[in-house]
């Protein structure tokens, strides 16, 4: 049985990746942070208490923090994973302007701490770094593997550092270390403060009569939005290659926040302009105006192609948030998931 360690297992991507790896027959270990409230909602449905389910247990959780190297080294030495997926980060771009030093420490240096733990414990683990399209910043689209980085936030600058330290450990120490440069990917499990989920959640709440307005920032920026379950498949594929490498993952389509509003409100028969208000506090000191991927390398080498594009993504997220509010929903999004997935990934609005 192969062993995988996931940092950031309680996040959107970590939870989907854990499901995929369990389905693939892995023993999965995840690092969680101690908090005064439960923070494992996204993985509760796959966790079995070892006291009651001895032989069913393939998912193990360990307390840790990527801000502290010593514990990571002990954990990696003891678990001896075959594959390490490093997803933990302070991942919110706007927040990184409020907490630049912390973001540099966790999102940037966190990667060095994991790589050092691999090197010092002398285990033969393959390493995945969660790099980001934010690193391209103001670079001309479409962006691909050899596009120069022009980061526009403390978050993006930290991710650029992490990208290069990953390549450095690959070249200096021969570690199988790959960067997945993922463009925005969303799902019903997306954190509630990222713009797509903020919108779909607010629409469901408006429909339920609990909210009248939605306050947003810049509506003009454009993003290449894909569906998260498909993106974790790409992560896994990267670590199954013969050689470590860096890959761009995206849909090759770009849409503005305004288009997202039109599509999502329109899906439930509402006009977004009646509900959306602008609040300056959601603007960023420097913005990334336009992200658009060229994922042709991944399509060719990983044999990965996105099945869900913008139009379908909006429907999946809307159906899920309407269901979460206990409302009737049109069902086009659910149908897409039911028809195109079903192997390891199923409709899961309640998670």
What residues from 158 to 197 belong to the interface with ligand GDR (CB under 6 A)?
183-184, 193-195
- Residue 94, contacted partner among ligand GDR, ligand NDP, none, CB below 5-8 A by kind: ligand GDR
Q: Which stretch binds ligand NDP (CB under 6 A): 87-95, 285-293, 312-320, 337-345?
A: 87-95
Least Å from the CB of residue 339 to ligand GDR: 27
What residues from 25 to 44 belong to the interface with ligand NDP (CB under 6 A)?
31, 33, 39
Strands 126-132 and 83-86, by their bridges, are parallel
CB of 9 closer than 8 Å to CB of 30: yes
39 contacts: CB under 8 Å, gap ≥ 6 = 10, 32, 33
Closest CA to 187 of 72, 84, 321: 321
Q: Which stretch binds ligand NDP (CB under 6 A): 19-27, 51-59, 89-97, 342-350?
A: 89-97
Is residue 134 part of the annotated active site? The answer reads yes
Interface residue with ligand NDP among 19, 28, 90, 163 (CB under 6 A) is 90
How far is 291 from 306, CA to CA, in rounded Å?
17
Query: Three-state SS across 46-65?
Result: HCCCCCCCHHHCCEEEEECC
Least Å from the CB of residue 191 to ligand NDP: 5
Strands 177-182 and 246-249, by their bridges, are parallel
Closest CA to 104 of 50, 141, 67: 67
Under rule CB under 6 A, residue 230 binds ligand NDP: no
Determine which one of 19, 27, 83, 134 is catalytic: 134
CB of 262 closer than 8 Å to CB of 304: no
Under rule CB under 6 A, residue 256 binds ligand GDR: no
The verdict on whether residue 213 carries a ligand-binding annotation is yes
Interface residue with ligand NDP among 46, 67, 123, 327 (CB under 6 A) is 67
Q: Helices (H) and strands (E) in the chain — how many of each?
A: 12, 13
Is residue 233 part of the annotated active site? The answer reads no
CB of 133 closer than 8 Å to CB of 182: yes
Determine which one of 16, 85, 155, 267 is catalytic: 155
How many binding residues for ligand NDP (CB under 6 A)? 25
Strands 185-186 and 177-182, by their bridges, are unpaired
Under rule CB under 6 A, residue 134 binds ligand GDR: yes
Nearer to ligand GDR, 148 or 193 (CB): 193
CB of 171 closer than 8 Å to CB of 158: no
Coil, helix or strand at residue 276 = strand
How far is 340 from 336, CA to CA, in rounded Å?
6
Least Å from the CB of residue 108 to ligand NDP: 11
Binding-site residues: 213
Question: Which residues are catalytic, by number?
Answer: 132, 134, 155
Binding residues for ligand NDP, rule: CB under 6 A, are: 7-8, 10-14, 31, 33, 39, 65-67, 87-91, 106, 130, 132, 182, 184-185, 191
Binding residues for ligand GDR, rule: CB under 6 A, are: 91, 93-94, 132-134, 183-184, 193-195, 198, 216-218, 221, 223, 257, 282, 284, 287
């Amino acid at each position: 049985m192969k062993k995988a360690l996931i940092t950031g297992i309680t996040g959107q991507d970590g939870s989907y990746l854990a499901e995929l790896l369990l389905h693939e027959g892995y023993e999965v270990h995840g690092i969680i942070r101690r908090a005064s409230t439960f923070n494992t909602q996204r993985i509760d449905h796959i966790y079995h208490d070892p006291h009651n389910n001895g032989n069913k247990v393939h998912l193990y959780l360990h307390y840790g923090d990527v801000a502290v190297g010593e514990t990571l080294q002990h954990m990696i030495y003891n678990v001896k994973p075959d594959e390490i997926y490093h997803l933990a980060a302070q991942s919110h771009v706007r927040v990184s302007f409020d907490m630049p030093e912390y973001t540099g420490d966790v999102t940037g240096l966190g990667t060095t701490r994991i790589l050092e733990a691999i090197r010092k414990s002398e285990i033969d683990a393959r390493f995945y770094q969660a790099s980001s399209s934010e690193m391209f910043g103001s670079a001309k689209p479409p962006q691909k593997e050899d596009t120069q980085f022009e980061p526009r936030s403390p978050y993006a600058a930290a991710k650029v550092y992490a990208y290069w330290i990953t390549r450095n450990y690959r070249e200096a120490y021969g570690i199988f270390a790959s960067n997945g440069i993922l463009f925005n990917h969303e799902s019903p499990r997306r954190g509630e403060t990222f713009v797509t989920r903020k919108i779909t959640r607010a629409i469901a709440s408006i429909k339920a009569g609990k909210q009248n307005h939605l306050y947003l920032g810049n509506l003009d920026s454009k993003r290449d939005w894909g569906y998260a379950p498909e993106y974790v498949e790409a992560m896994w594929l990267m670590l199954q290659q013969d050689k470590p490498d860096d890959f761009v993952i995206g849909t090759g389509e770009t849409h503005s926040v305004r288009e997202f509003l039109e599509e999502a409100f329109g899906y439930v028969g509402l006009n977004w302009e009646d509900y959306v208000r602008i609040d300056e506090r959601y603007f960023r000191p420097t913005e990334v105006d336009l992200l658009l991927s060229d994922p042709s390398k991944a399509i060719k080498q990983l044999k990965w192609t996105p099945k869900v594009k913008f139009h379908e993504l909006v429907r999946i997220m809307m159906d899920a948030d309407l269901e979460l509010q206990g409302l009737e929903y049109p069902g086009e999004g659910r149908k897409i998931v039911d028809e195109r997935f079903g192997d390891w990934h199923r409709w899961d609005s309640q998670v």
